[in-house]
Chains A and B, each alone.
Chain A
Amino acid sequence: MKLTLHIWRQPNTEADGEFKTYELPDVSEHMSFLEMLDVLNEKLISEGQEPVAFDHDCREGICGTCSLMINGQAHGPDRETTACQLHMRRFKDGDEIWIEPWRAKAFPVIKDLVVNRSAFDRIMQAGGYVSVNTGNAPDANSTIVPKQNADLAFDAATCIGCGACVAACKNASAMLFLSAKVSQLALLPQGQPERKSRAINMLKQMDEEGFGNCTNTNECEAACPAGISVENIARLNRQYVSAVLTSRD
């Protein structure tokens, strides 16, 4: 199929970016979206032009590195699918595709479609861990976890930290990410000792990074490739308020 691509090109963080248009005459419907970009880059390199910079690593939907706004939708049109798992059969001959980086003050563009997501790392460093040794395999039998809590914690833990929730949110809020990270530990016994300081410190870090507030529009949940539910945000709100009211720090 023949495609027209409008791609955001920005040489570095400080420079102004702009859209450049590229024609790709012969795209196979079996390619993944990132393979299509690989083909474009080979073409650009052979023509002596600068290839398009975009993030990717596993290309199987588990690492959360790929991060493309495709026709205004984070990770493209499919639900619960990362950009690397999106296939060109989803498009048709003659389509125009707009490709942009995640746009948020807290995610500055490094180059073209690559953004700096270290803000997420700093949020994790502020409390997204347990400091206790959780023991060896046999110890699992002595720490009772209700099955339902294990399932909910596991669901929250499937967040791959891609940032699509921030990209899709009209307020560039990181609440879905934060709520997943707080919930996965808040639901388990190992997470209890640091429950309060975790909620307070991680939220403080999120605010300092310049993400917006949650206004409950649910766009994050719809864009999340891991299917993280906004129910986690309600849990985060509970965790935070009870931590603020009862913490001794």
Chain B
Amino acid sequence: MSWVTNAIKSSIGRKFLVACTGLLLCGFLVAHLIGNLLMYIGPEVYNNYAHTLHSQEYLIKIAEVGLLVLFIAHLWLAIEASGRNRAARQTRYAVKKSKLPNRKIPFAITPENYMLVSGIIVLIFLCIHLGDFTFNLTMPEKIEGLEPYDKAIVIMRSPISAIAYVIGSLLLMWHLWHGATSMFQTLGLRHPKYDGLTQNFGPVFATIIGLGFATFPIYAWLVPYNPPAPNPDAPEAHGEPDSHSMNTIPAWQPASDRNELPG
């Protein structure tokens, strides 16, 4: 198997894997955005989706582990590559100017020159996001026992989270602007017939994903919303023994709809 390790260690092999993992992570972003957009259809639809998703215990575990592996691989390979890149030029130029026709500033602040920085900021944002939503660390007492929709709104109505989410989404957009076009070149998918498509794919995809995610905190602030009262002793307060269990369908259904549910 030494050919595998050799290939991964080679500059092209490494970049190829960065592109592959990036592509798969893009797939995750699309699925996540579509899921979140259900918030706009209505709380019930969104809650329904969230509970159905979380009831697939094994699938969720596999997806979580898979995503973790993808993230770590993507980041690790990119950090390694950028370490090599820095080592490849030891003395800097006193003067450096681009010869690209539309770029006059030296090392302009453009997405392709700040991929590692934007990637690491996105990672920090991701940790905050997981802390908020997955591990319920930031405001456990406020979101205890809330339905997914309410939980999301409550979290995003905190000013710090709202700002973090808007900035995080915009940086993700910045990262994808270059990444989602560059991956085609790295994967060798290039042909004059499709150049226009691949060149524009990154910016368009980045805008949809970045602005798409950025709308949620803004929406959370704009919708008239009465935050549900903090619910420290949630299970009892709900008056239903299984009211916060994710697996029993009737418990999360709004009271008015419960009777209409089959079974």
Contact = CB atoms under 8 A, between A and B. Distances in A.
B10 to A, nearest CB: 6
Interface stretch (A40-48, A54-62, A208-216): A208-216
**What is the size category of the interface that chain B forms with chain A?**
35 or more
Contact of B100 (A6, A71, A172, A218): A218
B95 interface: yes
A234 B188 contact: yes
A203 B10 contact: yes
B93 A173 contact: no
A237 B88 contact: no
Given A211-B88, A213-B15, A222 B101 contact: yes
A118 interface: no
A207 B99 contact: no
A117 interface: no
Given A212-B85, A215-B115, A216-B112, A72 B11 contact: no
**What is the size category of the interface that chain A forms with chain B?**
35 or more
B251 interface: no
B100 to A, nearest CB: 5
A87 interface: no
Contacts of B182: 215-216
A213 B14 CA distance: 9
Contacts of B67: none
Contact of A214 (B11, B13, B113, B192): B11
Contact of B97 (A71, A175, A231): A71
A207 B14 CA distance: 12
Most buried by B among A106, A241, A247: A241
A237 B14 CA distance: 11
Interface of B: 3, 6-7, 9-16, 81, 84-85, 87-101, 106-107, 112-113, 115, 178, 182, 184-190, 192
Interface of A: 6, 8, 17, 19, 69, 71-74, 77, 79, 98, 100, 103-106, 168, 170-173, 175, 203-204, 206-207, 210-219, 222-223, 230-231, 233-238, 240-241, 244, 247
